[in-house]
Chains A and B, each alone.
Chain A
């Protein structure tokens, strides 16, 4: 059993990278490998030397108090930080062994492979059909209207929204309830057949029933997609994820199987957080 505490307590990047590499072998099928990632917003050092490995076809949860950098790290994975003025990302992030900063990799293609669902549901002000069809359309995934309709139907079914909207595909997407809108956004993200789905606190704007449905959905989806979910709720992380990473003040404090993190964490800060001493 690997004693990670010795290594993780050391803030130096080199040691973190070694620890991460050693953890890789314990995971089996690494999808995303981040090494020594630093993010600066103008002068503010938001993420400090984060190294982590995400396994394929599983759910990884990022937890931590507000402002600890988990959403920032999530946005690094599909290079959404590029759209923020003054943001600077350093370090290596590999997806399937290929760096996402590679100049030969078109960032548009990256975002087709790494989908994102946001905290507040943001369907386009178009019809439900158009919402889901937009991604496949711009990436040229369907060669005719029948194929497009098929993609839309299968995405809505995978997002378990099809039965509720199949009779009103031409109605505005903004006319759905909050939980339905979020499932629509998930369907929209799935429609481009990504390999990884990033979810930034997807249930924080929803009521408990809608939250439960989304969590069921995530459990279904993990059979085919790699899911990384940022969440404020530790209970949600415990319910939904297989591995959990704890962030604090821009540093990745601890990462491991969910049950271990929540029952027997190695770092004191983790223990303080999950017992509610802060955050």
Chain B
């Protein structure tokens, strides 16, 4: 009946059997905690390695080689009529037409020559005979910078302005040491003359690394690789996110409320629930196929438009939003609903006055996580035509456009690996930063709404 008891070191009585098992139990607990700790450290370690490698590759791309030059806007080269003033008696429409014609004339000016002249001024004298080599030191897209400057300020013609111009991509690669300098001339992309000029510019302190704002403000470019930027992709992704938010959240929340609060619990409702759960697991590329078949072939919406991308991503995000909303609604204690119903509130009143306000933090979190997921999806967008090179910022959601993840994919395929490796990683950093911000927003909004009650 009574087990053999003894007094242990602390003066507590315990049976010998309990004490024997204690050592084993404590050992098992220590092992379990160790396993858990190792698992967490392993996971965190991989994430850290991933982030470190991306940051290491991508951060250098945020600074690009620029050449500081004094550009003289030679009137002999910028041979255009003065800026048209409004004549007496001329209508404003006619004046606008005059200005348009003047701007078209600007396009015919040889802006590249201005840049070459500015470079020749700071390079050794024989550079004047090697205009081809000189012209390739500054990336070709900078011509348009000069044209836009004159278009905005016609009075600078005849003056000299000091400005930083983006160096060519190959110059940037050379200066940053991203290319093996022992390679032969054919593979080095810069001629020996060009390399010499780069050294001269560096010596003179004219070749500097400046923050690459062009990465954010320029559109993609194939001719002027150093100018390639994310602006078009940004706006495309922004349009798509707006469409996803404004379509998937109302529809998803309404569907979840109906399924949870109003639908009768029968086989049909079960079937719908199973299907929604399955849809959440369908590979995203299938939604791309669906989008191509329905939106583009059947509804004839424009190819590669943010509208179509947004619609496809909405379909992808809906199951996530519905599932998150349903689990939030389920977590609300039924006593609240009973109290409201007992007072004589109708079902709609119960849901809208009592259940929904309590569910908002969970719904917001689910919606933002769904949107953040959709932001990074590439496969469905490729199938609706976004794999093409688009060099403009979409003005409306119906214009052709690209998206951030697709832009990353396109840059990863560019031949100039030495330059685009880092730039791709920089774009990945931008995308990750956006996702971190969105998730941070979700957490902030959740905390803020939770405090209220």
- Physical interaction between A and B: yes
Which residues of A are in contact with B by a Cβ distance under 8 Å? 78, 80, 83, 85, 108-112, 115-116, 118, 120, 122-126, 134-135, 138-139, 172, 174, 185, 188-189, 192
Contact of A108 with B265 in the complex, beta carbons under 8 Å: no
B318-373 with Cβ < 8 A to chain A: 333, 335-336, 338-346, 349, 353-354, 358
Contact, CB under 8 Å: B341 / A124: no
**Cβ-defined contact, A134 with B342, below 8 A:** no
- B345 contacts across to A, CB distance below 8 A: 108, 134, 138
Contacts of B342 in A (CB 8 A): 78, 80, 111, 115-116, 118, 189
- Is the pair A85, B353 in contact by a Cβ cutoff of 8 Å? no
Which chain A residue lies CB-closest to B347? Answer: A83
- The count of A-to-B residue pairs whose CB atoms sit within 8 angstroms is 61
Within 8 Å CB of B453, what residues of A?
125-126, 172, 174
Instruction: List 18 A–B pairs whose Cβ atoms lie within 8 Å, in order of A's numbering.
Output: A80-B341, A83-B341, A85-B265, A108-B344, A111-B342, A115-B343, A118-B338, A120-B335, A123-B339, A125-B336, A125-B453, A134-B340, A135-B343, A135-B344, A138-B345, A138-B349, A138-B353, A174-B453
Query: What are the residues of chain A within 8 A of B333 when measuring CB–CB?
Result: 122
Say yes or no: A111 contacts B338, CB within 8 Å: no
Contact A122 B339 (CB under 8 A): yes
The reply to whether A124 and B340 contact each other, CB–CB distance below 8 Å, is yes
Is A192 a contact partner of B344 (Cβ separation < 8 A)?
A: yes
When distances are taken between beta carbons in the complex, the residues of chain B under 8 Å from A115 are 342-343
Is there an interface contact between B344 and A188, defined as CB atoms closer than 8 Å? Answer: no
- Selected from A83, A85, A109, A188, the residue in CB contact (under 8 A) with B343 is A188
Contacts of A138 in B (CB 8 A): 343-345, 349, 353
- The smallest beta-carbon distance between A107 and chain B, in angstroms, is 8
A155–B279 CA distance with the chains assembled, in angstroms: 51
**B340 proximity list for chain A (CB < 8 A):** 124, 134
- Expressed in whole angstroms, the minimum distance between the Cβ of B273 and any Cβ of chain A is 15
Residues on B lying within 8 angstroms of A by beta carbon are: 265, 333, 335-336, 338-346, 349, 353-354, 358, 453
Verify B343–A192 contact, CB threshold 8 A: yes
Q: Give which listed residue, B336, B343, B349, B354, contacts A189 with CB less than 8 A.
A: B343
The 8 Å CB contact of A134, one of B335, B338, B343, B346, is: B343
In the assembly, what is the distance between CA of A123 and CA of B336, in Å?
Answer: 8
Q: A122-B338, A125-B336 are in contact. List 11 more A-B contacts (CB 8 A).
A: A80-B341, A108-B346, A111-B344, A112-B343, A112-B344, A118-B335, A122-B336, A124-B336, A138-B345, A174-B453, A188-B339
Q: In angstroms, how far is the closest chain B Cβ from the Cβ of A131? A: 9
Which residues of A are found within 8 Å of B344, using beta-carbon distances? 108-112, 135, 138-139, 192
Could you tell me the distance between the alpha carbons of A111 and B343 in the complex, rounded to whole angstroms?
6
**A134 x B336 contact (CB < 8 A):** no
Give the docked Cα–Cα distance between A85 and B354 (Å). 21
CA distance A88 to B378 in the complex (A): 53
Question: A152 → chain B, closest Cβ, in Å?
Answer: 14
- Give CA–CA (A83, B340) in the complex, Å: 12
Residues on B with C-beta less than 8 A from A192 are 343-344
Expressed in whole angstroms, the Cα–Cα distance for A134 and B344 within the complex equals: 10
The 8 A-B pairs of least Cβ separation, nearest first, read A111-B344, A116-B342, A112-B344, A122-B335, A125-B453, A122-B339, A135-B343, A108-B344
Which of B340, B344, B353, B453 is most buried by chain A, counting CB atoms within 10 A of its CB?
Answer: B344
Task: Output the nearest chain A residue to B338 by Cβ-Cβ distance.
Answer: A118
Collect the chain B residues with CB atoms within 8 Å of residue A185's CB.
339
Q: Closest CB of chain A to B451's CB: distance in Å?
A: 11
Whether A134 pairs with B265 at a CB distance below 8 angstroms is: no
In the assembly, what is the distance between CA of A174 and CA of B333, in Å? Answer: 14
B341 & A111 in contact (Cβ 8 Å cutoff): yes
With A and B bound together, what is the CA distance between A122 and B335 in angstroms?
Answer: 6
What is the bound-complex CA distance between A111 and B335, given in angstroms? 16
CB contacts (< 8 Å) of B353 on chain A: these are 134, 138
Chain B CB count within 10 A is highest, among A85, A125, A139, A185, for A125
Alpha-carbon distance A138/B354, docked complex (angstroms): 13
B338 contacts which chain A residues (CB < 8 A)?
80, 83, 118, 122
Q: B335: which A residues are within 8 A, CB to CB?
A: 118, 120, 122
A83 CA to B358 CA, complexed, in Å: 21
- Interfacial chain A residues near B265, Cβ < 8 Å: 85
Also in contact, A124 and B354, with CB within 8 A (given A80-B341, A118-B338, A185-B339): yes
Instruction: Determine the distance from Cα of A135 to Cα of B342 in the docked complex, in whole angstroms.
Output: 10
Measured CA separation A112–B345 after assembly (Å): 9
- Closest-CB distance, A125 to chain B (whole angstroms): 4
Q: Which residues of B contact A109 (CB under 8 A)?
A: 344
Interface core residue of B341, B346, B349 (most chain A CB under 10 Å): B341
Please measure, in the bound complex, the distance between the C-alpha atom of A85 and the C-alpha atom of B263, giving whole angstroms.
11
Query: Closest Cβ of chain A: how far from B345's Cβ, in Å?
Result: 6
Q: Which residue of A lies closest to B341 (CB)?
A: A83
Q: Using CB atoms, name the residue of chain B closest to A135.
A: B343
- Least Cβ–Cβ distance between A110 and chain B, in angstroms: 8
Contacts of B339 in A (CB 8 A): 118, 122-124, 185, 188
How far is B343's CA from A192's CA once the two chains are assembled, in angstroms? Answer: 8
Cα–Cα, bound, A120→B342 (Å): 14
From B338, B339, B343, residue with most partner A Cβ within 10 Å: B343
Nearest-CB distance from A86 to chain B (Å)? Answer: 9
Q: How far is the CB of B18 from chain A (nearest CB, A)?
A: 37
Chain B residues in 8 Å Cβ range of A78: 342
Chain B residues whose CB sits within 8 angstroms of the CB of A123 once the complex forms: 339
Task: Return chain B residues, CB-CB under 8 Å to A135.
Answer: 343-344
Q: Which residues does chain A contribute within 8 Å of B343, judged by CB atoms?
A: 111-112, 115, 134-135, 138, 188-189, 192
Closest to B339 in A: A122
Find the residue from A110, A111, A118, A189 having the highest chain B CB count within 10 A.
Answer: A111
Q: Bound complex: CA of A111 vs CA of B338, how far in Å?
A: 12
A118 CA to B333 CA, complexed, in Å: 14
